Amino acid sequence: MNRKPSQKTFHKCQALPVTPCLSQGLYSCTNHYDKEAINVIEKDIISGAANYYNQDNYLLFAIQVVSAYKDKISQSVLDKYSTVLLKVIATDTDNALNAYRVVNKLNSKEFWCKNIGTVLGYVTKGTYAVIYDIITGRIELFNKENDNLTQLVDFLVDYIDLSTNPDDVINILNAQFSKIGKLRNWFIS
């Protein structure tokens, strides 16, 4: 028996009609679904994470969804999400820090500088590597202008014993303070 295919066909994985999108091109179809997903993330998922982070697996769900769309979310929403992660850090430290590491480079400079102290407050043997990645991922933000160079030095020096590669720590410190050596040499000569 040969049947004529129906006007609407469904993608076998998503059970979504694909006919309208095919007429507009695959990119517009993807773009349409991305916009819908971003809208749900911005209006529901991030707010849900703020309110239901202690519910079974909701935070993990939110982290996975937001991580998948992190490059498409607006700056203000991304900073709001990071604020939620900083709120959750006290109760689910490992997941919150790992999620923060994913969006670390995308946070605004202002947000990052204002909140890095919170992240640094959770250094333990178990969290050091993640926090080290967060710090070194935005090393350029530690400077005189942002008045936070002391935080970097304190972190690197105080926890060098937790580092798997102390030479990297020393290289970072050397790079940050190479100007001091140059200034010293200038005065001596």
Encode pLDDT of 46-62 as tens digits. Answer: 888 888 877 778 888 99
pLDDT value for 11? 41
pLDDT value for 3? 43
CB proximity list for 46: less than 8 A, separation 6 or greater: 62, 66, 77, 80, 81, 84
Looking at residue 82, its amino acid is S
CA distance 139 to 133: 10
150-188 pLDDT, tens per residue? Answer: 999 999 999 999 999 999 999 998 888 776 666 566 666
The answer, yes or no, to whether residue 20 has pLDDT greater than 70, is no
Asked if residues 85 and 100 have their Cβ atoms less than 8 Å apart, the reply is yes
pLDDT value for 158? 96
pLDDT value for 120? 97
φ, ψ at 5 (rounded to 5°): -60, 145
Residue 30 banded pLDDT, cuts 50, 70, 90: low
CA distance 87 to 126: 19
pLDDT value for 81? 93
70-126 pLDDT, tens per residue? Answer: 999 999 999 999 999 999 999 999 999 999 999 999 999 999 999 999 999 999 999
φ, ψ at 101 (rounded to 5°): -60, -35
86: helix, coil or strand?
A: helix
Q: Would you give the DSSP letter of residue 97?
A: H
- Residue among 69, 79, 84, 83 nearest 38 (CA): 69
pLDDT value for 167? 92
